[in-house]
Amino acid sequence: MTAPATTTDRTAPTGGRGVASLYAGNSRAVMARGWRATRSSNWMIVVSGFFEPIFYLLSMGIGLGALVGEVATADGDVSYAAYIAPALLAVAAMNGAIYDSTWNVFFKMNFAKLYEGMLATSLGPLDVALGEISLALLRGAFYASGFLLVMQALGLNLSWWALLALPAVLLIAFGFASLGMAITSYMKTFQQMDWINFVLLPMFLLSATFFPITVYPQAVQWIIQAMPLWHGVELVRGLTTGAVHWGLLWHVLYYAVMIVVGVVFTTKRLRALFLD
Amino acid sequence: MPAPVITARDLRKQYEDVAAVDGISFEVSPGESFGLLGPNGAGKSTTMRMVGAVSTRTSGDLEILGLDPNAHGPDIRSQLGVVPQADNLDTELRVRENLLVYGRYFGLPRRTIAERADELLAFAQLEEKSKAKVDALSGGMKRRLTIARALINDPRILLLDEPTTGLDPQARHILWDRLFRLKEQGTTLVLTTHYMDEAEQLCDRLIVVDHGRIMAEGTPAELIRAHSSREVLEVRFGADRNAEVAKRLEGVGDRIEVLPDRILVYSANGEAELVRITEAGLHPITSLVRRSSLEDVFLRLTGRSLIE
């Protein structure tokens, strides 16, 4: 406000150079903004999303489970509730991550012009991408941790390996947040956004969530195995039921690739949109 | 003379087959208030985006604060304040929070930001709205908040793209007053506008831009002197008669300009021209003598009005 002259405490941006420099090492400022926004305006939405998978668990697991009885898995029989709970845990991580990284991002990008404002400062597109994705990831992690506690209380964690379900759901949330934001950054209209839901719902219902995928013909199984949720469900189910084997690392790898692809495309897209 | 804070030489921006900015050159000195005047689509906003280091030039030279934006985008952006054409305030945050959060984007320490936020709220006359939601603010208040936000990093140059477009007259005057204060404090202002009164109020010097090119450059007074007469007589004969009457006005004034709704007669003495017209037996429905403005300069240079 006073005469321009001296510069005070300017953080010299690090990382790449140029108009479209990628990274200023300040994604925490983007996250801090998200916390504040959540606190002051939309915490109710956050809380409501938390209960959704719990309702599924109670109705399907406890209610329907009484009719179904045991489910045969490769490592022996488990109760129906213990069979679907890890799947719903993966879904909880997915939902939390997807909500923040798709509709929220779509709104900020197209209507609130939030990223335009951010990228007029010393922030780079990677700061924005990482900040927003981390926020979505934390929301997914928050949903999933709560759900894991409910599972514990209901006796649905059958092994100490279940502790590793926590980092596993972080990974799953990270993957969905990252890919979700990348896809959203290419969307221009509400109709296109609906396609995301169009993919999410069948994926939720069919990815070995409520019954094993062996009921499908081989071709359908392949399609499901190509989708991300199935990998999450298998990974988490292996951990909470104690059926741990090296093959689970393939699922971890799947998510690692998904995270990298998502961050790379989100960053590229933000750069193309706001730093032309 | 101190080194310029902005130097543009033959600056161009090409979007596929459209040249949005087609070879413009200008310099801005520290503390100066510099304007880009032109109609919508003239290339003002594109120029501002290049100066703001968020758009890469297609060709030409550009230096902001001695740095090339192609090599030092973030360094430049950290020393600029940007007021975009459309408000992009954070509507999920309250008024003061908007300033706090924006300061963090520059990586400034919290305490510095908090102090500056309070100063800026006072400057923007928004102290009482500090906890209000952004959506509850009037258009003028939002604009003032956007300006306050642009000042949070104590910028060396403030870029304003159409700062008062869409505001009512009173809100515009309040905003002009704030910007004038900044100017008095020595802040370098660069603004685009299609309002000539705004350019006359705020700009020490300006360029008139059309189709991505500079049509003229100078102080408002110089431009008016160079491209227009001292006074203008506006006469109206009714929409269907203007063109016909205009033929009979040949030789009146230095020059005449026929617009759809009125005829402009350029002359050093508007009253005298009006007397000549009435003596010739022509009786305008309304007549008005005024001083020449930048609008007339623009009309002369481009053959078009600024606001169409």
Q: What is the per-residue DSSP string for B137-172?
A: S-HHHHHHHHHHHHTTT--SEEEEESTTTT--HHHH
Which chain B residue is nearest to residue A19, measuring alpha carbons? B73
Nearest to A36 among B88, B97, B116 (CB): B97
Residue A76 φ/ψ, nearest 5 degrees: 105, 175
What is the distance between the alpha carbons of residues B131 and B94, in angstroms, rounded to a whole number? 6
Per-residue pLDDT reduced to its tens digit, A171-195: 999 999 999 999 999 999 999 999 9
Tokens of B20: 């949005």
Tokens of B279: 């003596």
Tokens of A245: 């084997």
Residue B194 pLDDT: 81
**Cβ B190 vs Cβ B6: under 8 Å:** yes
Using a CB-CB distance cutoff of 8 angstroms, which residues of chain A are in contact with residue B30? 4
> Digits of tens for pLDDT over chain B (308 positions)?
689 999 999 999 999 889 999 999 999 999 999 999 988 888 999 999 999 999 999 999 999 999 999 988 889 999 999 999 888 999 999 999 999 999 999 999 999 999 999 999 999 999 999 999 999 999 999 999 999 999 999 999 999 999 988 888 898 999 999 999 999 888 999 999 888 788 888 999 999 999 999 999 999 989 989 998 889 999 998 878 888 888 888 888 888 888 888 899 999 999 999 999 898 888 899 999 999 888 888 888 887 766 54
**pTM passes above 0.90:** no
In chain B, the N- to C-terminal Cα span, in Å, equals 39
What is the distance between the alpha carbons of residues A91 and A229, in angstroms, rounded to a whole number? 8
Tokens of B259: 């617009």
Using a CB-CB distance cutoff of 8 angstroms, which residues of chain A are in contact with residue B97? 36, 40
Residue A7 pLDDT: 37
What is the distance between the alpha carbons of residues B291 and B306, in angstroms, rounded to a whole number? 17
Using a CB-CB distance cutoff of 8 angstroms, which residues of chain A are in contact with residue B54? 19, 119-120, 274-276
Using a CB-CB distance cutoff of 8 angstroms, which residues of chain B are in contact with residue A109? none
Q: Which amino acid is at A16?
A: G
| CA distance to B43, B172, B232, B247, B250, per residue, from B277 (Å) | 40, 37, 14, 12, 11
**Cβ A207 vs Cβ A176: under 8 Å:** no
Residue A2 pLDDT: 39
For chain A, residues with pLDDT lower than 70 are: 1-20, 41-42
Which chain A residue is nearest to residue B131, measuring alpha carbons? A40
The CA-CA-CA angle for residues A106, A112, A114, to 5°, reads: 90
Using a CB-CB distance cutoff of 8 angstroms, which residues of chain B are in contact with residue A112? 88, 90-92
Residue B307 pLDDT: 56
Nearest to B107 among A2, A7, A11 (CB): A11
Alpha helix segments (H runs only) across B106-138: 110-123
- Name beta bridge partners: B8: B26, B62
Q: How many CA atoms lie within 13 A of A179 on its CB side?
A: 20
| Cβ distance of A9 and B112 shorter than 8 Å | yes
The CA-CA-CA angle for residues A39, A44, A46, to 5°, reads: 80
The residue written with tokens 């799953």 in the block is A172
Residue B305 pLDDT: 65
- Among residues 4-33 of chain B, which lie with CB inside 8 Å of chain A? 30-31
| Cβ distance of B88 and A113 shorter than 8 Å | yes
Strands (E), A25-153: 70-73, 76-79
Q: How close is the nearest chain A Cα to the Cα of B64, in Å?
A: 12
| Cβ distance of A113 and B71 shorter than 8 Å | no
Using a CB-CB distance cutoff of 8 angstroms, which residues of chain A are in contact with residue B71? 17-18
Using a CB-CB distance cutoff of 8 angstroms, which residues of chain B are in contact with residue A274? 54
Q: How close is the nearest chain B Cα to the Cα of A107, in Å?
A: 11
| Cβ distance of A11 and B106 shorter than 8 Å | yes
| Cβ distance of A7 and B79 shorter than 8 Å | yes
Q: Which amino acid is at B131?
A: K
